[in-house]
Amino acid sequence: MNNNQTGKCQCGLISYSFNKEKVISSHHCHCKDCQRATGSGKATIIFIPKKHVDLNGEIKYFESKGTSGTHVRRGFCSNCGSGILSYAKEIPHILYVKAGTLNDSSWLKIDSNFFTKSANEWNRPDETIKCFEGNPSIISGIKTLLKSF
Ligand SMILES: [Zn+2]
Ligand SMILES: [Zn+2]
């Protein structure tokens, strides 16, 4: 079985690969910043330790302040503008890979929804999975998780 997953930006300058066994969790984020950054109803992100992602090409970052006070750095291709990944400046060891950039995302299972309070009528959160009204404060959870690596 092949666990190696690959993805890239629209123009191909940026590409990445990772072993899907290393994925921590996957989420839909309906926060306003993700809506603006993606130009759609939500961002679908895959949490994975940075050390398990093999990245090629130079990513350009745009930083914004999240509601919980953390600084989110959204990375995109400076040539074609595709959003590739993001991370919180305070926890740079975990990358949030944008699921839409995967070459094959058929294996992906979404664990929960973030910021359902700002979800739009035209893109309702999937209520069959766990919903967080705002930030799930998983940051403290991740810090605990990191200690176990
Ligand atoms: Zn590109
Ligand atoms: Zn978001």
Domains of the chain by residue range: 4-147
What's the gap in Å between 67 CA and the centre of ligand 2?
A: 10
What's the gap in Å between 8 CA and the centre of ligand 1?
A: 8
Q: Tell me what pLDDT residue 141 has.
A: 59
> What are the CB-based long-range contacts (under 8 Å, 24+) for 56-64?
56/14, 56/15, 56/16, 57/9, 57/13, 57/14, 57/15, 58/13, 58/14, 59/14, 59/84, 59/85, 63/89, 64/33
Q: Which ligand is nearest to the CA of 75?
A: 1
Q: Tell me what pLDDT residue 3 has.
A: 94
What's the gap in Å between 1 CA and the centre of ligand 2?
A: 33
Residue 115 CA: distances (Å) to CA of 15, 84, 87, 118, 128? 29, 21, 17, 6, 16
What's the gap in Å between 58 CA and the centre of ligand 1?
A: 10
pLDDT tens-digit profile, the chain (149 residues): 679 999 999 999 999 999 999 999 999 999 999 999 999 999 999 999 999 999 999 999 999 987 777 899 999 999 999 999 999 999 999 999 999 999 999 999 999 999 999 999 999 999 999 999 998 866 555 555 555 44
What's the gap in Å between 41 CA and the centre of ligand 2?
A: 10
What's the gap in Å between 86 CA and the centre of ligand 2?
A: 10
What's the gap in Å between 43 CA and the centre of ligand 2?
A: 6
Q: Tell me what pLDDT residue 146 has.
A: 56
Q: Tell me what pLDDT residue 113 has.
A: 96
CATH number of 4-147: 3.90.1590.10
Q: Tell me what pLDDT residue 148 has.
A: 47
